[in-house]
């Protein structure tokens, strides 16, 4: 396939912001592509050459691209810099300069999608000495063969800046329209008048495509199956060790009864560790660790690979686990924030391993010995986990659990879970399948939220980036003897970005603007008037605020200014009372 054909698609996609039009363009294009062309096309329309979970990214620096444009077009660096400063878009600069040059020399061969894809993939593999020169050559080679507009898209792709607006929803729908045109046309061409059956069939199809995507996180795999094997192929899409799968998510409940009513009696109740989700893959001597956001963090947690080798029988599996940090001296669990830096850190790994150790708590299994277990009932998967893991507390173990139908027994277990420094319980349905990527209510979190507080805003900060026009974080205070206001925390979540959606940053900003008393940088002090109801997960002792307490994970619930005055807000005594009460539940 010629690259110019793909570029024509880019131009179509760029020409509209309407989702349906984009879907039509993309699906028509996919229908024409051969099975071999699907992978490069699907990846390149997303501006990448590997699926998102793969850590190999193109990411080339601007300056290298400037040099490549110079090499390919024969224009001096200074001229390119000047054009770039003028238009602000290196893609357009490349297009202009390559076009001017081509009028003089129309010799080189025409670019194909395969050639672009291959060169870009090779770019991601290059490291070490001499790699910059090799990268330069690979890019210049593409630009030299590019026709004007092709140069624009090559440049944008190389810079990781190709944005033609094809999100996951559009890709999914395009696969449906491309390979199941009859089912899709029944719904899409009826202008909302399709029969209920046709709509149901279409929605089922979309759900199948989504399910196949949730297992693979790779639309290229899904599209290829759809094209070559149809619906049957979608059903056959498999988890593949090494490719992350979207993990199953939890819903929240407020009482044990609510949980049992939802998942049935008895239910499996497990400690809810305050760590981070870790998908652990093993295929022989190869290991992969993925976070819930599908980031590959294998290099950051070498000790986890050792634990897997030591404590888990079997050499082909995908385990679902929670890695939780603990204090190496006291061996008590620490909150996620304390160890979160380990996820991103690429250096000093050995030291961090000692200072911020993690314990892996295995709670589920997704694949074993080449068999996809997602359709198996949870209690069977759990039995398998129990037969595979030789626990070593502090390193790797099975999540602490009981199976119970008794509310009082589960409440007791909840208190124990809190006393052991975890967040509460996960309550799980024993006969449920593993549903990747979905909050279907097969596992419920029970954390027991604290009573909300009504607090007044005493100061605020202007936001950054897209929030720059709003006051977007608010310092909150409670009341003390004689009406003195004492700060207890800062909140910046729970509000909407758009007014139509509910209580918004914009609205709070408008309420606060006339109350501003002093401004220093982004910080403003305001007259205490606006009262917010705030939920949170815990009250902590803290020297940061003058009240001596801080709220953990505060979020705004609603505006109470019309109902309450500053004299009616919660007092320091209320906060102290809640803190004591919380200590009792923990103990």
Write out the catalytic residue numbers: 272
What is the x/- site pattern for ligand AMP, positions 426-465, by CB under 6 A?
Answer: x----------------x-x--------------------
**Token reading at 295:** 């980031």
Which span (83-91, 265-273, 473-481, 537-545) binds ligand AMP, by CB under 6 A? 265-273
d(CA 74, CA 98): 9
> Minimal distance in Å, beta carbon 400 to ligand AMP?
8
> Minimal distance in Å, beta carbon 401 to ligand AMP?
7
With tokens 């009250």, the residue in question is 539
- 576 — phi, psi (to 5°)? -60, -40
> Minimal distance in Å, beta carbon 359 to ligand AMP?
12
> Minimal distance in Å, beta carbon 252 to ligand AMP?
7
> Minimal distance in Å, beta carbon 428 to ligand AMP?
7
Which span (25-33, 140-148, 236-244, 267-275) binds ligand AMP, by CB under 6 A? 267-275
92 binds ligand AMP (CB under 6 A): no
CA 362 vs. chain centroid, Å, equals 21
Closest of 220, 178, 206, 227 to residue 28, by C-alpha? 178
Among 75, 399, 404, 570, binds ligand AMP (CB under 6 A): 399
Query: b/e per residue, 537-550, with b = 16+ CB within 10 A?
Result: bbbeeeeebebebb
With tokens 């890019």, the residue in question is 139
d(CA 547, CA 355): 31
214 binds ligand AMP (CB under 6 A): no
Nearer to ligand AMP, 99 or 416 (CB): 416
Among 199, 277, 345, 529, binds ligand AMP (CB under 6 A): 277
What is the x/- site pattern for ligand AMP, positions 401-430, by CB under 6 A?
Answer: -------------------------x----
Distances in whole angstroms, Cα of residue 568 to Cα of each of 52, 326, 581: 51, 41, 22
Q: Do you know the residue count of the chain?
A: 587
What is the x/- site pattern for ligand AMP, positions 280-299, by CB under 6 A?
Answer: ------------x-------
| 75: helix, strand or coil | coil
d(CA 117, CA 43): 9
> Minimal distance in Å, beta carbon 495 to ligand AMP?
20
- Stated as kind and residue range, the H or E segment containing 358 is strand 358-368
Among 173, 270, 454, 487, binds ligand AMP (CB under 6 A): 270
**CB of 365 closer than 8 Å to CB of 385:** yes
Among 33, 93, 250, 572, binds ligand AMP (CB under 6 A): 250
Which span (3-11, 130-138, 270-278, 304-312) binds ligand AMP, by CB under 6 A? 270-278
> Minimal distance in Å, beta carbon 118 to ligand AMP?
38
What is the x/- site pattern for ligand AMP, positions 298-337, by CB under 6 A?
Answer: ------------------------x---------------
| 263: helix, strand or coil | helix
DSSP state of 33: S
DSSP for 434-486 reads --TT---SSEEEE--PPPPEEEEEEEEEE--GGGTTSEEEEEEEEEEGGGEEE
Distances in whole angstroms, Cα of residue 133 to Cα of each of 44, 65, 130, 436, 519: 24, 12, 6, 43, 51
Q: Which residues make beta-bridge pairs with 428? A: 268, 443
What is the x/- site pattern for ligand AMP, positions 361-380, by CB under 6 A?
Answer: --x-----------------
> Minimal distance in Å, beta carbon 385 to ligand AMP?
11
Nearer to ligand AMP, 213 or 363 (CB): 363
**CB of 328 closer than 8 Å to CB of 391:** no
Using CB under 6 A, list all residues that contact ligand AMP: 250, 270-273, 277, 292, 322, 363, 399, 426, 443, 445
């Amino acid at each position: 396939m010629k690259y110019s054909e793909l570029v024509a698609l880019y131009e179509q996609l760029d020409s509209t912001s309407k989702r349906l039009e984009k879907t039509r363009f993309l699906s028509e294009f996919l229908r024409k592509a051969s099975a071999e062309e699907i992978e490069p096309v699907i990846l390149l329309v997303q501006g990448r050459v590997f699926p998102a979970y793969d850590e190999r990214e193109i990411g080339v620096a601007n300056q290298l691209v400037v040099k490549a444009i110079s090499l390919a077009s024969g224009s001096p660096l200074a001229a390119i810099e000047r054009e770039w400063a003028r238009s602000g878009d290196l893609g357009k600069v490349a297009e202009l300069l390559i076009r001017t040059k081509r009028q003089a020399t129309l010799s080189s061969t025409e670019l194909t999608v395969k050639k672009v894809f291959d060169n870009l993939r090779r770019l991601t593999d290059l490291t070490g000495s001499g790699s910059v020169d090799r990268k330069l050559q690979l890019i210049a080679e593409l630009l030299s063969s590019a026709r004007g507009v092709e140069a624009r898209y090559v440049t944008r792709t190389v810079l990781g800046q190709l944005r033609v607006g094809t999100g996951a929803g559009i890709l999914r729908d395009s696969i449906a329209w491309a390979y199941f045109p009859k089912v899709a046309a029944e719904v899409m061409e009826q202008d909302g008048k399709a029969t209920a059956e046709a709509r149901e069939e279409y929605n089922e199809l979309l759900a199948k495509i989504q399910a196949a995507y949730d297992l693979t996180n790779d639309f290229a795999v899904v599209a290829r199956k759809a094209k070559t094997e149809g619906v049957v192929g979608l059903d056959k899409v498999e988890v593949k060790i090494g490719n992350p799968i979207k993990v199953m998510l939890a819903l929240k409940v407020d009482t044990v009864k609510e949980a049992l009513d939802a998942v049935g009696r008895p239910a499996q109740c497990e400690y809810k560790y305050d760590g981070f989700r870790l998908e652990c893959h093993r295929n022989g001597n190869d290991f992969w660790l993925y976070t819930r956001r599908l980031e590959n963090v294998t290099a950051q947690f070498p000790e986890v690979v050792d634990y897997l080798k030591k404590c888990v029988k079997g050499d082909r599996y995908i385990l679902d686990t929670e890695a939780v940090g603990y204090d190496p001296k006291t061996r008590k669990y620490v909150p996620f924030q304390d160890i979160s830096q380990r996820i991103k850190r690429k250096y000093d790994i050995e030291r961090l391993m000692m200072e911020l150790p993690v314990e892996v708590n295995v709670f589920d299994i997704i694949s074993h010995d080449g068999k996809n277990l997602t359709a198996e009932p949870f209690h069977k998967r759990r039995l398998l986990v129990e037969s595979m893991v030789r626990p070593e507390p502090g390193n790797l173990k099975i999540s602490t659990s009981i199976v119970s139908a008794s509310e009082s027994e589960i409440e007791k277990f909840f208190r124990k879970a809190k006393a052991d420094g975890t967040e509460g319980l996960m309550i799980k349905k024993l006969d449920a399948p593993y549903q990747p990527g979905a909050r279907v209510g097969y596992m419920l979190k029970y954390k027991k939220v604290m009573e909300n507080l009504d607090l007044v805003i005493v100061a605020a900060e202007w936001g950054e980036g897209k929030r720059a026009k709003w006051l977007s974080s608010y310092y909150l205070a409670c009341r003390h003897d004689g009406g003195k206001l004492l700060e207890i925390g800062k909140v910046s979540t729970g509000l909407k970005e758009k007014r139509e959606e509910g209580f918004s940053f914009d609205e709070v900003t408008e309420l606060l603007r006339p109350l501003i008393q002093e401004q220093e940088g982004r910080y403003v002090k305001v007259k205490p008037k606006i009262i917010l109801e705030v939920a949170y997960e815990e009250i902590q002792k803290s020297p940061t605020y003058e009240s001596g307490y801080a709220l953990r994970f505060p979020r705004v619930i609603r505006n109470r200014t019309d109902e309450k005055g500053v004299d009616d807000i919660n007092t320091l005594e209320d906060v102290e009372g809640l803190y004591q009460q919380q200590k009792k539940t923990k103990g």
